Amino acid sequence: MRIAVEVVPRSEESLAAQLADVGRLRRVDAVNVPDLTQFELKGWEAALRLRASHPHLAAVPHVRAMEVELHRPWTPGAKLAAAGVNEVLVVAGDPPATMARPITGAHPTDVIRAFKAAHPGWRVYAALDPYRSGFSQELEYAVRKLEAGADGFFTQPFFDTRLMGVWRELLPGVPVYWGLTSVTSKRAMNYWLTRNRAVFPAGFETTMAWHTRFAAEAIEFAARHDANLYFMPINVDIGAWLGELLA
């Protein structure tokens, strides 16, 4: 079982502070770094800084497929490889608010295929969203990503290990990083319900106590099935949420 934590590269200072917090959690093996257009620091750049400051942690930067030029080598690839980064997560990516970052319109399956050809030693992960469409449609999309060469998936956050178990049965033998996040207010819960169409179980609470209990349950699930987890701390102190579980 591997455990990853997602850090958001809002700035150099914010990234350093988050990495310091993650560095105190001895059970964490990797850091998952999104590439968000509203921040100047790109995901792959944050991954390089992570490797320089915390070489014992693996870095898994997000790659926005819609920005990749398929007819030429992906420039950050050589820099990442030189820094010991051999894992990436290919996501479609939301359209940027401005045209400061050009859009190529490349599809995730094409980027996965191109990355596996250019970097055969890389583990190239894809995204899996259990909420955006019906089971059959999302499963079909997942299979297409596997056929393109994806080595496994990082999922949108789950809030119920029973649903995780269903998806595990739908993707037997496929490496999965099961996502968990913190939803600690009614406003945040409404966001997940309306924007991401998430499914919350009966008895869900927007409390740290509930999230800590569920994290422990998910860790047990992952250990039992030789799976992986990644945590997305949002508006919470990572130590307060996971310190006792991952120390």
The pLDDT tens digits of the residues spanning 44-65 come to 999 999 999 999 999 999 999 9
- DSSP code at position 154: E
CA nearest neighbour of 219 among 208, 209, 205, 230? 230
Residues 126 and 133: their CA atoms lie apart, in Å, by 16
Hey, is 99 helix, strand or coil? coil
> Mean pLDDT of all residues in the chain?
95
DSSP letters, 107-120, are -HHHHHHHHHHH-T
* 42 vs 89: CA distance, rounded Å: 14
Kindly state the average pLDDT of the residues 182-209: 96
- Residue 98's alpha-carbon distances to 19, 37, 44, 91, 107, in angstroms, are 29, 9, 20, 19, 20
Q: Domain locations in the chain?
A: 3-246
Q: What's the chain's Rg over C-alpha atoms?
A: 17
The type of residue at 129 is D
Exposed e or buried b for every residue in 77-88, given b needs 16+ CB within 10 A?
Answer: beebeebebebb
Q: Which residues, 6 or more positions from 47, have their beta carbon under 8 angstroms from its beta carbon?
A: 31, 33, 59, 60, 61, 80, 83, 85
Q: Per DSSP, what are the bridge partners of residue 232? A: 181
Q: What's the pLDDT score for residue 233?
A: 96
Query: Would you place residue 34 in the very low, low, confident or very high pLDDT band (cuts 50, 70, 90)?
Result: very high
In a 13 Å sphere around the CA of 120, the CA atoms on its Cβ side amount to 1
131: tokens are 């909420």
Rounded to the nearest 5°, which phi and psi values hold at 60?
A: -125, 85
Give the type of residue at 173.
G
- Does 97 have pLDDT greater than 70? no
- Which residue is listed with tokens 């420039």? 75
**Residue 99's pLDDT band (cuts 50, 70, 90):** low
Mean pLDDT of 116-137: 95
Q: Which of 72, 10, 20 is CA-nearest to residue 41?
A: 10
Q: Quick one: average pLDDT of 33-47?
A: 94
- In 3D space, the residue among 147, 102, 140 whose CA is nearest the CA of residue 124 turns out to be 147
For residue 102, name the pLDDT band (cuts at 50, 70, 90). Answer: confident
Range in 7-11, 102-106, 145-149 with the lowest mean pLDDT: 102-106
Pick the CATH number of 3-246 from 3.90.1580.10, 3.40.50.2300, 2.60.40.10, 3.20.20.220: 3.20.20.220
Could you report the per-residue pLDDT of 146-184, keeping only the tens digit for each? 999 999 999 999 999 999 999 999 999 999 999 999 999
